[in-house]
Chain A
Amino acid sequence: MTASQIRPAPVRRNIFVKASLEHAFAVFTAGFDRWWPRGHSVGSSPQKMAVLEPEIGGRWYEIGEDGSQTQWGEVMVWEPPHRLVLTWRVDADWNCDPELHTEVEVRFTPEGDGVRVDLEHRKLEAYGERAQEVRAKIDNEKGWNGLLKLFAAEAEH
């Protein structure tokens, strides 16, 4: 890490929801499966259910049609009904990577006759750092190079 590194700006979105603060927070968390788009899926099997366990340390995961579970991250900060911070360990190719650490913060603020929901996805530079590590691992004797040598040795028998 250099002192002046490039940090991709966080992605920020917000939306206004005409509902009470408590209701909005409950639907977002305990009711996660009711609204999460099915197409936003990581598992090898089509997504049957998406779960956000409503507690600190709770798991954030999906359940596939075949019953398999794929974890996306976990609950880091749990401050109902105002704030929620989750880790998001899904890479750009929709693979889960337990070593990847990006964060999604969601804040719920009363506004007029509803709630303003602010979402921030940050620490995006982790994608780059992780990809670099993975590349280094693959690029050595134990990784693809080694496998290719084994393959070549076998193929040349």
Chain B
Amino acid sequence: MLDLLTGFVGELRAAGIPVSLTEHLDAAEAMRHVPIEDREALKYTLGASLVKSSAHWRAYETAFEIYFSLRGPEYRIDGDQDGAGELETDDAGRMNGQGRQQGQGRGRGSGGGEGMTPEELADLLYKALLGANDAMVAAVARQAVTRYAGMEAGRPVGGTYYLYRTLRNLDLDGVLERLMSEARSSTRALNDDLSTSAEAPPVTLTSLEERLLRDEFQARIDQLRAEIENEIRRRLVADRGSEALAKSLRKPLPEDIDVMHATRDELVALRKALVPLSRKLAVRLARKRRHGRKGPLDFRSTVRHSLSTGGVPVDPKFRYPRPSKPEIVVIADISGSVASFARFTLHLVHAISSQFSKVRSFVFIDGIDEVSRFFDRVDDPTDAVQRINTEADVIWVDGHSDYGHAFTVFWERWGEEITPRSSVLLLGDARNNYHASQAWVIKELRARARHVYWLNPEPRAYWNSGDSIVGEYAVHCDDVVECRTLRQLEQFVGNLA
């Protein structure tokens, strides 16, 4: 068991969760007090001693599920007990084998049996969801994985592939619609009964009830999805062992998610992480400004105070520090490929705008527009970022990135306003669709502004490949920074202020 824990801690560290030696000891101590067979209790107690931040919980959970997964014969991928000749048999045979075993092992007669038709399975799924029957949902998930995922032992495919295959066959959106229409018609039936029997007011599904019902079903479907995911993972663990799998399923911490390739769920996690991050960054910067440096020597004050010590300047006085706050100009590409990255950066910069004397933001695709006005007198940058998407006027010709044109227009219209106090941040992957680069604008900007930085959300290896011309701009910038994750972004902005 201790070996398992050590391996588990190693995996957590590999996933980026800092686990100190004391915490490891605590976890080992904790395991003595908790019944090992109570899996949920074990998960929470280990979590309490190993994971010290809620943002890390998701990564922890995944690792836990893998390392302490339920193991047993029913989770083997090749369901047939005979094993050896299994791989040659066709799919149908395998599914039957699995189905039979489940029927025996779990005593779920309705679900098991000699393999169900897809219609029966769909029907069962529908009933399970309608009745909110947890055990049944779990059974359906198992069946669905067996039937649709087409898992093969030893096949080096990620879990997401199997998940996709299973979900595609289940058509959950369709199921949701069916559930809703069923609910509607059942109220209508009730309504008919009532109107025939008495003078009761007609019962209809109000929009409020409808909304609640939809959320209810959606929650159940999410539960099913999680169940399917668990099932697939369990089988993969049984097939490949925990360590190999942990590596392939490792979920990045929110601050390490690659913004450009984030999935929808990851984007939600990112948005959640961004708010506390910007708040912490603002506190840190304010503190740095308050303490830290002292101003230059205040000669007059020093001499005056030295009179009490007979003219010996024992206690030198310093001027109150007034570090100048930089002025920030953000020019961001918001075309499809880098849109989410631009949004996060704008959000972060404006959230800590009190740390800058002025923040101006511009967005472009092939046209360019100033969006600072959206952020004025708004407490929460989220709304403003939303409005940028809908209201900013950034299309000039065809809505494909044209850095050259955007920069030229910027120079003509706002170039005068760049002063030696401004730091200019350029955001984008510099994929210019083979338009002219107009790099001279950056050169001019560099001559006027205090600094010009380029933040590129692409991995450094991809720079200057294909239509990326970041190199042409880079020669005129103070620095070009690879900025793919919130951690990198936070670091950059922190250094800037």
**Are A and B part of the same complex?**
no
Interface set of A (CB-CB < 8 Å, partner B)? none
Interface set of B (CB-CB < 8 Å, partner A)? none
